[in-house]
Amino acid sequence: MVGAEPKLMENGEGKPLSVDDLIRFIRSVVISNEKQEEASPFYVLDLGAVRSLVHTWFHNLPLVQPFYAVKCNPDPVFLKEMADLGTGFDCASSAEIETVLSLGVSPDRIVFANPCKPVSHIKYAAKCALLIRVKVPETSGATFQFGSKFGALPAEIIPLLRASQEAKLQVIGVSFHIGSRAINFNAFEDAIEVAKTAFNTAAKLGLPNLRILDIGGGFTSGPQFTEAASALKLALQKHFPVGVAEGLKIMAEPGRFFSNSSFTLATSIIGKRVRDGIKEYWIDDGVSGSMNFLKYDHDEVVCTPLITGKNSRRKEMKTWNSTVFGPTCDAEDIVLKDFELPELEVDDKLVFHNMGAYTSSCGNDFNGFKTSAIPTYIANQK
């Protein structure tokens, strides 16, 4: 399901909401929900941020077509916006493929990138051309490395390519992944050198010329992306200078880059106590839900306290050492610890920023707190 490179639609650069505008939008949702007696938590999806990120990607990497990793956040409105902006999609199952096809996306804008697939899923996508996934040196300093599970070793590449010849399967390119949330982008040169060796090996075996290079994911937004793009372009120019000029298609599988900062989560304080001078709060979402990533990804949590209308008479902004628990009976359901917060009351809000990557998609419904039922409100600033 890898084919012609779709073009970015002219929907404009897009403009993310400022923090002040985002908080105003959240306040408006809170007021509306109070009138309708609807409870939080809820997400806010900023479509202006999505458009801005897509623009940033193509501005920095015009030769690399992004195939968004659906597993990162499959919100349907978000996926539709990505489809309208011309990105491709990285799917990991037949169910994800069906979801993307239902948006009107053509199969040539999908890569079925899960390296090990159930037989039924392979049959579902039986007309796919193939990419060979190669193991690359783990030099990126990534939070999550994949080499122990995925990727052909150098000694395995020739047997795999020969097996594809014997089975009359069409191998059209090479893929790799330097790891999720990489910090050393010189790793791209190491990885692309391995990929180039695989290209050369296929040629020596008499396979048709490979025409696709899939550089995987691991990208984050912000200054690190500019650094990654620069390192990537240098590595491509070194190892594929002629290939790029002659029409080699280069694709990537970013997830976090597009989704993380596009979503914000608003939660409510549902309980409070003071113990040994520490203010302790309970909120209505937690580690079994949207904050599931805290179990394995100790990222810095960006949180804004939001005092509601009924408590707005409180002007004091002194902060206190605070702990924030999630709502479940799990003793490990701790969202924040030793965190400075102003004094809050029940029904005040905690707004968590950068909550689009592996949040709603990884949460469960433990204790009946249904992550799958958390609504999303759309902010659409163009």
Question: Where does the pLDDT of residue 175 fall: very low under 50, low under 70, confident under 90, or very high at 90 and above?
Answer: very high
In-domain check, residue 179: yes
Q: Are residues 372 and 271 in the same domain?
A: yes
pLDDT in tens, 23-34: 999 999 999 888
Residue 180 has pLDDT above 90, yes or no: no
> What is the pLDDT, as a whole number, of residue 299?
64
Q: What percent of the chain has pLDDT over 90?
A: 64
> What is the pLDDT, as a whole number, of residue 145?
62
Residue 193 has φ and ψ, to the nearest 5°, of: -65, -40
Q: Provide the CATH number for the domain around residue 219.
A: 3.20.20.10
Dist. CA 222–CA 200, nearest whole Å: 35
Q: What percent of the chain has pLDDT over 70?
A: 88
In-domain check, residue 235: yes
Residue 255 has φ and ψ, to the nearest 5°, of: -120, -65
Q: Are residues 239 and 277 in the same domain?
A: no
Instruction: Report pTM.
Output: 0.89
In-domain check, residue 67: yes
Q: Are residues 244 and 265 in the same domain?
A: no
Last residue of a domain, one of 256, 279, 295: 256
Residue 4 has pLDDT above 50, yes or no: no
- Token couple for 56: 């940033």
Q: Are residues 208 and 300 in the same domain?
A: no
In-domain check, residue 141: yes
Give the domain range for residue 90.
48-256
Residues 6+ apart with CB under 8 A from 87: 6, 8, 54, 65, 66, 67, 68, 109, 258
Q: Are residues 203 and 297 in the same domain?
A: no
In-domain check, residue 15: no
Q: Where are the beta strands (DSSP E) in 70-216?
A: 88-91, 110-112, 130-133, 171-175, 212-214
Q: Are residues 295 and 238 in the same domain?
A: no
> What is the pLDDT, as a whole number, of residue 87?
97
Distance of CA 359 to CAs 60, 221, 238, 293, Å? 27, 17, 38, 7
Query: Taking residues 42-55, what's their average pLDDT?
Result: 97
> What is the pLDDT, as a whole number, of residue 136?
86
> What is the pLDDT, as a whole number, of residue 64?
94
- Token couple for 334: 């701790």
Sign of CA dihedral 155, 158, 163, 169: positive
Q: Provide the CATH number for the domain around residue 332.
A: 2.40.37.10
Dist. CA 357–CA 181, nearest whole Å: 12
Strand partners, 379: 46
Q: Are residues 251 and 266 in the same domain?
A: no
Question: Where does the pLDDT of residue 13 fall: very low under 50, low under 70, confident under 90, or very high at 90 and above?
Answer: low
Last residue of a domain, one of 227, 256, 285: 256
Distance of CA 216 to CAs 122, 179, 223, 251, 272, Å? 20, 8, 19, 8, 44
Question: Where does the pLDDT of residue 8 fall: very low under 50, low under 70, confident under 90, or very high at 90 and above?
Answer: very low
Question: Where does the pLDDT of residue 381 fall: very low under 50, low under 70, confident under 90, or very high at 90 and above?
Answer: low
| Least confident span in 110-119, 212-221, 271-280, 293-302 | 293-302
Residues 6+ apart with CB under 8 A from 154: 194, 197
Q: Are residues 251 and 321 in the same domain?
A: no
Active site annotation includes 303: no
Q: Are residues 105 and 180 in the same domain?
A: yes
Strand partners, 323: 280
> What is the pLDDT, as a whole number, of residue 146?
61
Q: Are residues 83 and 138 in the same domain?
A: yes
- Do residues 1 and 89 lie in contact, with contact meaning Cβ atoms separated by under 8 Å? no
Residue among 344, 374, 308 nearest 41 (CA): 374
Residue type at position 238: K
Count of the separate structural domains present in the chain: 2
Mean pLDDT of the chain: 87
Q: Are residues 272 and 152 in the same domain?
A: no
Query: Taking residues 65-74, what's their average pLDDT?
Result: 96
> What is the pLDDT, as a whole number, of residue 43?
97
Distance of CA 36 to CAs 175, 321, 347, Å? 50, 34, 15
Last residue of a domain, one of 238, 256, 274: 256
Residue 9 has pLDDT above 90, yes or no: no
> What is the pLDDT, as a whole number, of residue 12?
47
Catalytic one of 91, 116, 128, 329:
329
pLDDT in tens, 248-306: 999 999 999 999 999 999 999 999 999 999 999 999 999 999 999 888 766 678 999 99
Residue 2 has pLDDT above 60, yes or no: no
In-domain check, residue 29: no
In-domain check, residue 363: yes
In-domain check, residue 340: yes
Q: Are residues 175 and 282 in the same domain?
A: no
